[in-house]
Structure 1
Amino acid sequence: MALLKIEDLKKYYYSGLFKKEVHRAVDGISFEIGRGKTLGLVGKSGCGKSTLGRTVLRLLEPTAGRVLFDGQDISGFKGSTLKNLGTKMQIIFQNPESCLNPRMKVYDAIAEPLRLHRLCERDEERGRIQELIEAVSLSEELLFRYPGELSGGQLQRVAIARVLGMKPEFIVADEPTSMLDPLVQAQVLFLLKKLQNDYGISFLFISHDMQVVDWMSDEIAFMEEGKIVGFR
């Protein structure tokens, strides 16, 4: 059984008098992702890739369709039920600064979701954070620096460590390397592959870079104007 199954998923935006104008950002998409597998999603800017990723995670409410995670329909989850699901389904953003508080040191940035979801006891926290920082190949000395003191590649690794701390089974990686230079991009891609092998994580890997997607993915979906137009 697939870990994630999407059935006829739609996300529409309405505008104009009496909502007569419709923008079909996601228009009847279906696919599956197996455990420990990566589906690459390729398309031009504005085709709906990021909207699809956020709708799958329920960061955006779907207009119609179903999202099944581990055989359970999560399309109607709300409140604490949806919050609890957040530990299993996570997102890595294009810009890591969007999830890091510039006034919060790296240690506390990684600890924040652990505390929020009560994923470890306070006396276990330091050890857990050391494990996470090592898992993303960063030096422990960076834990007590602020985000503004880190490079782009280091910031993305910190963002990945935050996500990894929740032990997710599925991650939407939304253009996670597009803002990095080629050498750092390659390092982060190798890191994601290693984490997938070590922890059995499934990915929806979103990018406009066909070469990157081809290397990362077990299967590739091509998206145009809100629709999947083919698989490879």
Structure 2
Amino acid sequence: MTHRDPAAPGLARLTALIADETRAACLLALLDGRAWTAGELARTCSVAASTLSEHLGKLVAGGLLAEERQGRHRYVRLADERVAHLVEDLAAQVAPDAVERPRTLRQSGAGAATARARTCYDHFAGRLGITLTAALTDRGLLRQDTGFALTDAGLLWFDRAGIALDRRGRRPLARACLDRTERRPHLAGAAGAALCGHALAAGWCVRIGSGRAVKVTDAGERALSALLGIEPAALR
């Protein structure tokens, strides 16, 4: 006699939550790491506010989203980093030829900008994320041979660059996250978050519009060239 795995009911509930196009669109939009209002998500997902409210209730109840209220505004965000990695990893499994092609020049431009450089929850993804990961690895600051791990030189590099690493929590310092567009792993974990947060705060990168796309500034090109030897052309 076989016994069903006790994790089966929970897994079924989780996959059922994600197995809806509107809820999936919400989760993907929230990968930018920010809190969104219900109205903003409704417009992004092209559904009525009343319809979206029902979906958000299910995602909050299921533990995938966290909810905050400020006055009459309701904000939602991804519950934590684990949810972000789950969504990104699942999205990375979608075959490129199964993704809907852009219908307008505006959509095509937005897609190109997102593929070039974007945030993946709280770290960089796209070609920018891959370029940073490769530069850290090539300079002996990051190891990828047995999973992602910062070397002693890497820890020293973060200190000397003035990028504060959170070493107190349970979160790993370095974690591989499969890049959905590049199909290679980029740096996540506390180190990825610290680098991304510092780059945005220092003006090395700026967000483009209301989505996940970012752009490396002239100051960012100079800083990343000095710190990691990255050619400016690789960041454009």
Give your verdict on TM over 0.5.
no
Q: Name the one with the larger helix percent.
A: 2
Normalised to the residue count of structure 2, the TM-score between the two structures is 0.25
TM-score, scaled to structure 1: 0.26
